[in-house]
Amino acid sequence: MQIIKTISQLKEALAIYHGKESVGLVPTMGALHNGHISLVKKCVEEGNVTVVSIFVNPTQFNDANDLKKYPRNLEADCGLLKNSGCKYVFAPDESEMYPVPDTRKFNFGLLESVMEGKFRPGHFNGVGQIVSKFFDIVQPNKAYFGLKDFQQLAIIRKMVADYNYPVEIVPCPILREPDGLAMSSRNMLLEPEMRKAAPFIYQTLCKVKGMIQAYTPQKVIDYVQSEFQNNKDLKLEYFEIVDNKTLQPVSDFEGIQCTGCIAVFAGKVRLIDNIQLIS
């Protein structure tokens, strides 16, 4: 496994593979956990020369404190990746990725008007900026993204279609802790009391899945809002039931593939999760 810090060095390293072997990209912001490693292993198992990027992208943060607090430990990340089959770790600094400000504006339409886009304005434009940069640099045949970031996956698929990137987007399942909490780099920021409370998020999503045969989407949403109003530790930011393709709210469950998406504050730490309701 080779750690590379510059764009020119990475391009030189990958030049011998393009057109001969499949190159796979796993973009991350570091603070790696087993969820990330599952993406890397899938990339390796599918026969790719595997590149893992580690870069905390400032343009997708609309809260300066959130950016400052985001966990960073490149040495620990590389230790986790060592036996994963990863070929290259691309760990640039900010000046390497943004030698000048990136003023590009992406239009993701209705996909970015709901949920994360509504509560984190500018976030997905920053995602588009950095992921497109990685695609241009690495020129992957495949790129691997976790389903925990359900809306992000839809955004990236649209970007690939709109800009004709010759890359296959591979969605990977959510990995969970034994108590059900979705694996996330932000989990390490949770205070002990909040970590104990956080599994309530997935427990509630599981209850939702059992309600869809008997209740309307609005009744289910009302139920979730009520559950969190009665929870003294967790603050619900949103719970939406959305069409899998358009991400727009659904008014009934009949014949619609949909997902329940949630964002919750556990103390000062913001957690997201989702559950497929009808696939």
Number of residues that this document lists for the chain: 279
* Distance linking the first and last C-alpha atoms of the chain: 38
Burial class (CB in 10 A: 0-12, 13-18, 19+), 159: buried
For residue 26, give the nearest of 153, 161, 170, 182 by alpha carbon.
170
Burial class (CB in 10 A: 0-12, 13-18, 19+), 68: exposed
The one catalytic residue in 18, 33, 36, 123 is 36
Per-residue tokens: 92: 């640039």
Q: State residue 17 phi and psi, 5-degree precision.
A: -95, -30
**CA atoms of 218 and 225, how far apart (whole Å):** 10
For residue 262, give the nearest of 229, 225, 213, 226 by alpha carbon.
225
Sole residue written with tokens 């709109």: 162
36 given a catalytic annotation: yes
**CA atoms of 75 and 79, how far apart (whole Å):** 6
**CA atoms of 268 and 234, how far apart (whole Å):** 10
Question: Is 218 strand, coil or helix?
Answer: helix
Name the residues annotated as catalytic.
Answer: 36
